[in-house]
Amino acid sequence: METYRNRYSLDVTEDDYGKLITVAGWVEDIRNIGSIAFIILRDRKGTLQVTALKKNEPEIFKKIVAISRESVISVQGLCKKSDKARNGYEIIPQEFEVLSTAETPLPLGVVDKVESELDTRLDNRFIDLRKQEIQAIFKIRTAIIASVHDYLRSENFVEVHTPNIIATSSEGGTDVFKLKYFEKEAFLAQSPQLYKQILMATGLDKVYEIAWYFRAEEHNTRRHLNESTAVDVEMAFIKNEEEIMKILENLAYNMWKKASECKEELEILCKEISLPNLPFKRVKYDDVIKKLNDEGSKIAWGEDLGNEDERLLGKIMEDEGHTFYFITKYPIEIKPFYTMPEEEKYSRSFDLECGGIEFASGSQRIHNVELLKKRIKACDLNPKDFESYLKGFRYGMPPHGGFGFGIERFLMELLNITNIRECILFPRDRTRLTP
Ligand code: AMO
């Protein structure tokens, strides 16, 4: 055989009929009915049938019936039109090579009818990912990230990559992974927050990053990961947070639209995606509290929304005809130190929610260094720990703001996936560190 593969299953056309072609992939199934053996071979695009007749090719037949499911093989053979076979053709093998033999039994089935536990699937993620419907999630993920680059670049944002090993916790909280950095103590970045803000002092007025968030949150929920990804955006010379919200809603719309164009994958997942209307509804935090209290929630002014309240609000907003909505003007006390206050007790902040799940949050930031130090102290943090960040504010820092947009949270909502672990290849949660 000159090559292991010159055709994918679904790329074979009538022009290939009667010709020798080479295909390769995983053995999804084998059937031996005595005189004939069938292999269902799976590749990246789909499946095809290999048909071996015992009397014509006894040696190949012997090898084929001995092979285990999920082994990797390459087959060269005649591509023959066949109305009975899937795709309308079959391969009659002339050469056959086993590239890798799969051990038995398999730790996880690929086409089995029985549903496996999520943990078993994640323990064997490389096999789980052989399933078309799991691959479809990640193909859609690729498409929506492509639309992030397309949209933000069309708006003149510059893509950046900021450090993940940092000296100060980026969100000010305690949920931070510590590590030894030679003689010093360091942290894994909870987000690119501090660096994307420092970049606003450089003249790169609009930046974005496809970022990793590392968060040592103890809770093990269906919507939290300890390592997740996000689209982080920061832009300078803004007058208020509304300018940022416009970018965010257009971004979310473009991502949603791009996903709706992934017809093949959506068909595999049996999902339909309808486009939301722009602009998204804006609801002030005060009104949110009132709406929730009216529906029986005990939430008090000044508290952050818990899961239950978020879910209830999702329902209320859905009834009012809004799948996507912004919650704006949060109390300053429940927002991070870098958030711009407004009047006495509010802030220029927002969260973007969809169906009861928050998938982005952002704000205008404080750009005055004295006010920033005051807020750092008010949040029980020490300005000394933020010296290199604060330095970026001392020599000319324009007004600015931005947001962080959780990619896995967005995928969950987009595809109606109940557990966030399904939306990242190799999830890290409170108990999972492998694979
Ligand atoms: P925040 O902490 O709200 O804001 O995070 C922004 C978005 O990131 C996602 N996210 C997570 N997804 C999964 N698991 C987690 N543990 C997790 N934590 C966060 C959510 C969330 O809405 N620096 C600010 C953003 C900014 O103001 O620019 C920040 O990190 O979708």
pLDDT in tens, 392-414: 999 999 999 999 999 999 999 99
DSSP 8-state code for residue 300: P
Indicate if 53 and 135 belong to the same structural domain. Answer: no
Point out the domain boundary residue: 100, 134, 156: 100
Whether the model pTM is above 0.85: yes
| CATH code, 207 | 3.30.930.10
Residue environment code for 173-206, b if the CB has 16+ CB neighbours within 10 A, otherwise e: eeebeeeeeeeeebbbbbbbbbbbbbbbbeeebb
Pocket of ligand 1 (CB under 6 A): 171, 191, 193, 213, 215, 217, 224-225, 228, 230, 358-363, 402-404, 406, 408-409, 420
Indicate if 134 and 266 belong to the same structural domain. Answer: yes
Q: Confidence band (pLDDT; 50, 70, 90) for 269? A: very high
Rounded to 5°, the CA angle 127-133-134 comes to 45
Distance between CA 351 and CA 249 in Å, rounded? 11
pLDDT at position 285: 98
Indicate if 199 and 69 belong to the same structural domain. Answer: no
Does pLDDT of 1 surpass 80?
yes
Does pLDDT of 174 surpass 90?
no
Q: Which of 361, 364, 365, 414 to mutate to test the pocket of ligand 1 (most atoms within 8 A of CB)?
A: 361
- Classify residue 110: in a domain, yes or no: no
Indicate if 61 and 179 belong to the same structural domain. Answer: no
pLDDT at position 171: 87
Indicate if 202 and 77 belong to the same structural domain. Answer: no
- Classify residue 434: in a domain, yes or no: no
Q: Confidence band (pLDDT; 50, 70, 90) for 219? A: confident
Q: Which residues are catalytic?
A: 215, 217, 223-224, 358, 361, 409
| CATH code, 12 | 2.40.50.140
DSSP 8-state code for residue 239: S
Does pLDDT of 173 surpass 90?
no
- Classify residue 117: in a domain, yes or no: no
- Classify residue 96: in a domain, yes or no: yes
Q: What is the mean pLDDT of residues 164-184?
A: 92
Tell me how far apart the terminal alpha carbons of the chain are, to the nearest angstrom: 35
Point out the domain boundary residue: 100, 133, 160: 100
The domain of 25 spans 3-100
Indicate if 194 and 306 belong to the same structural domain. Answer: yes
Per DSSP (E only), the strands in 119-273 are 158-159, 165-166, 178-181, 184-188, 206-214, 227-236
**Helix 307-319 × helix 285-294 angle, to 10°:** 90
Q: What is the mean pLDDT of residues 186-198?
A: 97
Indicate if 52 and 130 belong to the same structural domain. Answer: no
Indicate if 282 and 145 belong to the same structural domain. Answer: yes
Indicate if 59 and 139 belong to the same structural domain. Answer: no
Indicate if 55 and 143 belong to the same structural domain. Answer: no
Mean pLDDT of the chain: 96
Does pLDDT of 238 surpass 80?
yes
- Classify residue 106: in a domain, yes or no: no
Q: What is the mean pLDDT of residues 49-61?
A: 94
pLDDT at position 187: 96
Q: What is the mean pLDDT of residues 246-254?
A: 98
Q: Confidence band (pLDDT; 50, 70, 90) for 369? A: very high
Which structure tokens are listed for 115? 């549903």
- Classify residue 112: in a domain, yes or no: no
Distance between CA 185 and CA 207 in Å, rounded? 28
Does pLDDT of 214 surpass 90?
yes
- Classify residue 389: in a domain, yes or no: yes
Report the run of H or E that residue 40 belongs to, with start and end. Answer: strand 36-42
pLDDT at position 172: 79
How many domains does the chain fold into?
2
Indicate if 194 and 297 belong to the same structural domain. Answer: yes
Q: What is the mean pLDDT of residues 137-151?
A: 98
Atom of ligand 1 nearest to the CA of 365: 27
CA of 366 to the centre of ligand 1 (A): 19
> Could you tell me if 384 and 390 are in contact, meaning their C-beta atoms sit under 8 angstroms apart?
no
Does pLDDT of 113 surpass 80?
no
Distance between CA 43 and CA 110 in Å, rounded? 13
Atom of ligand 1 nearest to the CA of 217: 16
- Classify residue 76: in a domain, yes or no: yes
Indicate if 196 and 332 belong to the same structural domain. Answer: yes
